[in-house]
Structure 1
Amino acid sequence: MSTVIPPRETLTVEFKSDHKRLSDTDLIEAIVCLANAEGGDLWLGVEDDGTPTGLHPEHFSLDGLAGLVAARTSPSLTVAVEAIEIKGIRVARIRVPKSPQETATRSGVYLRRRLKHDGTPECVPMLPHDRISRASTFGLLDVSARPVAGATLADLDPLERERLRQNVETFGGDKVLLELEDADLDGVLGLTHRQGDGTRTPTLTGLLLIGRESALRQLVPTHELAFQVMAQEAVRLNEFRRFPLLKALDWLETNFRPYNPEEEVRIGMFRVPVPKVDMDAFREAVANALIHRDYHRLGAVHVRLEDDALVVSNPGGLVEGVTLANILTTEPRPRNPALADALKRIGIVERSGRGVDTIYRGMLRFGRALPDYSRTDAHSVILRMPTGAADLDFLKLIVDEENRLNSRMPVDSLIALSALRQMKRLTIEELAGQIQRDAASAKRTLEALIERGMVEGHGTTRGRSYTLSASLYRNAGDKVAYTRQAAFSALQNEQMVLNYTRQHGGIKRAEVANLCHLSEDQASRLLNKLHKDGKLEKHGQKRWTFYTVLGQ
Structure 2
Amino acid sequence: MSMITIDILKKLKESEDKVEFKKGEGGNVSYNGGNKINPSDRRRCILGYVTALCNEGGGYLVIGMSDNHPHDVIGTKQNLDSIGELESKIYTDTGIRPIVYELFESLKRVLVIEVPCRPAGKVFKFEDVALMRVGEELKPMSDEVYLKIIQEQEPDFSQQICDGITIADLDVKAIAILKEKYSIKQNNPQFKLLPDDQILSDLELSKNGKLTNAALILLAKKEILQEKLPQAKVMLEYRNFENQINFDNRIEFSEPFFVLINELWNTINLRNGSFPIQDGAYIFNVPYFNEEVIRESINNAISHRDYRKTSEIVIKQFPQRLDVINAGGFPVGVTLENLIKTPSTPRNRLLADILQKTGIVERSGQGVDKIYYNTLSEGKAEPDYTQSDNFQVNLKLSAIIEDRAFALFIDSIQKELPINEKLSVLEIVTLNKIKNKISKKDLDLEQVNQLLYKKLIEKRGKTNAIFYILSKDYYEFTDEKAKYYNLQELDDNQVLTTILQFLSKEGKAKMKDFVGLFEDKLSRKQVRLRVEKLVKNKILKQDGESSSSIYEIGENFINDMEVISEALNLGFQLLEKNKAPKIERAKKRPEKDQ
TM surpasses 0.5:
yes
The match for 1:149 is 163
* Structure 2 residue corresponding to 1:161, chosen from 175, 178, 186: 175
* Structure 1 residue corresponding to 2:452, chosen from 445, 450, 453: 450
Gap change, CA 1:220 and 1:303, over 3 Å in 2: same
After superposition, where does 1:367-446 map in structure 2 within 5 Å?
A: 367-389=379-401, 391-407=403-419, 408-423=422-437, 426-431=438-443, 442-446=444-448
Q: Partners of 2:491 and 2:317 in 1: how far apart?
A: 42
Q: Partners of 2:326 and 2:33 in 1: how far apart?
A: 35
AA of the residue aligned to 1:211: A
The match for 1:16 is none
Indicate the SS of the match to 2:436: helix
Q: Partners of 1:54 and 1:371 in 2: how far apart?
A: 42
Tell me if the contact between 1:264 and 1:273 (Cα under 8 Å) persists in the aligned partners: yes
* Structure 2 residue corresponding to 1:203, chosen from 192, 195, 212: 212
Gap change, CA 1:265 and 1:474, over 3 Å in 2: closer
Gap change, CA 1:251 and 1:532, over 3 Å in 2: farther
Q: Partners of 2:249 and 2:481 in 1: how far apart?
A: 45
Indicate the SS of the match to 2:263: helix
Gap change, CA 1:245 and 1:474, over 3 Å in 2: same
Tell me if the contact between 1:460 and 1:517 (Cα under 8 Å) persists in the aligned partners: no
Indicate the larger mover: 277-286 or 149-158: 149-158
AA of the residue aligned to 1:351: R
1:306 aligns with 2:318: yes
* Structure 2 residue corresponding to 1:184, chosen from 198, 205, 221: 198
Q: Deviations over 1:281-336 (max 9, x none)?
A: 11100111111111111122111112441100111222322222221222212111
Gap change, CA 1:55 and 1:193, over 3 Å in 2: closer
After superposition, where does 1:124-523 map in structure 2 within 5 Å?
A: 139-168=153-182, 173-176=185-188, 179=191, 181=194, 182-194=196-208, 200-232=209-241, 233=244, 235-262=247-274, 265=277, 272-389=284-401, 391-407=403-419, 408-423=422-437, 426-431=438-443, 442-486=444-488
Q: Partners of 2:349 and 2:36 in 1: how far apart?
A: 47
Tell me if the contact between 1:264 and 1:274 (Cα under 8 Å) persists in the aligned partners: yes
AA of the residue aligned to 2:267: N
Indicate the SS of the match to 2:449: helix
Q: How far 1:468 sits from its partner (Å)?
A: 2.1
AA of the residue aligned to 2:37: P
Indicate the larger mover: 480-489 or 297-306: 480-489
Q: Partners of 1:417 and 1:219 in 2: how far apart?
A: 47
Q: Partners of 2:533 and 2:177 in 1: how far apart?
A: 74
Indicate the SS of the match to 2:250: strand
The percentage of counterpart residues that share the same residue type is 21
Tell me if the contact between 2:345 and 2:364 (Cα under 8 Å) persists in the aligned partners: no
Indicate the SS of the match to 1:175: coil
Q: Partners of 1:136 and 1:192 in 2: how far apart?
A: 31
Tell me if the contact between 2:353 and 2:364 (Cα under 8 Å) persists in the aligned partners: no
Gap change, CA 1:268 and 1:47, over 3 Å in 2: closer
Q: How far 1:527 sits from its partner (Å)?
A: 8.5
Q: Partners of 1:152 and 1:489 in 2: how far apart?
A: 78
Indicate the larger mover: 409-418 or 394-403: 409-418
Tell me if the contact between 2:120 and 2:152 (Cα under 8 Å) persists in the aligned partners: no
Tell me if the contact between 2:293 and 2:371 (Cα under 8 Å) persists in the aligned partners: yes
Q: Partners of 2:39 and 2:178 in 1: how far apart?
A: 65
Q: Deviations over 1:103-133 (max 9, x none)?
A: 9xxxxxx554788863459999999x98999
Gap change, CA 1:453 and 1:351, over 3 Å in 2: same
The match for 1:541 is none
Indicate the SS of the match to 2:431: helix
Q: Partners of 1:228 and 1:550 in 2: how far apart?
A: 69
Tell me if the contact between 2:323 and 2:395 (Cα under 8 Å) persists in the aligned partners: yes
- Let me know the Cα RMSD of the aligned residues: 4.8
Tell me if the contact between 1:301 and 1:315 (Cα under 8 Å) persists in the aligned partners: yes
Q: How far 1:164 sits from its partner (Å)?
A: 1.6
Gap change, CA 1:468 and 1:115, over 3 Å in 2: farther
Q: How far 1:272 sits from its partner (Å)?
A: 3.9
Tell me if the contact between 2:238 and 2:249 (Cα under 8 Å) persists in the aligned partners: yes
Q: Partners of 2:282 and 2:494 in 1: how far apart?
A: 43
Q: Partners of 2:206 and 2:275 in 1: how far apart?
A: 44
Q: Partners of 2:160 and 2:150 in 1: how far apart?
A: 12
Gap change, CA 1:125 and 1:458, over 3 Å in 2: closer
Q: How far 1:479 sits from its partner (Å)?
A: 1.6
The match for 2:37 is 52
The match for 1:534 is 539
AA of the residue aligned to 1:446: V
AA of the residue aligned to 1:146: Q
Indicate the SS of the match to 2:270: helix
AA of the residue aligned to 1:52: I
Q: Partners of 2:336 and 2:61 in 1: how far apart?
A: 21
Indicate the SS of the match to 1:382: strand
AA of the residue aligned to 1:480: A
Q: How far 1:402 sits from its partner (Å)?
A: 0.8
Indicate the SS of the match to 2:238: strand
Tell me if the contact between 1:364 and 1:418 (Cα under 8 Å) persists in the aligned partners: yes
Tell me if the contact between 1:462 and 1:517 (Cα under 8 Å) persists in the aligned partners: no
Tell me if the contact between 1:139 and 1:319 (Cα under 8 Å) persists in the aligned partners: no
Q: How far 1:405 sits from its partner (Å)?
A: 1.1
Q: TM-score, normalised by structure 1?
A: 0.64
Q: How far 1:445 sits from its partner (Å)?
A: 1.8
After superposition, where does 1:81-160 map in structure 2 within 5 Å?
A: 112=58, 118-119=86-87, 139-160=153-174
Identify unmatched segments of 5+ residues in structure 2: 1-13, 20-30, 43-47, 63-82, 91-95, 99-111, 123-148, 503-508, 512-520, 543-551, 557-594
Q: How far 1:215 sits from its partner (Å)?
A: 1.1
Q: Partners of 2:454 and 2:223 in 1: how far apart?
A: 57
Q: Partners of 1:551 and 1:365 in 2: how far apart?
A: 55
Tell me if the contact between 2:465 and 2:523 (Cα under 8 Å) persists in the aligned partners: no
AA of the residue aligned to 2:156: D
Q: Partners of 2:276 and 2:311 in 1: how far apart?
A: 38
Tell me if the contact between 2:61 and 2:113 (Cα under 8 Å) persists in the aligned partners: no
Gap change, CA 1:460 and 1:492, over 3 Å in 2: same
Gap change, CA 1:374 and 1:308, over 3 Å in 2: same
Identify unmatched segments of 5+ residues in structure 1: 1-25, 34-45, 57-85, 87-94, 104-109, 195-199, 432-441, 504-512, 538-547
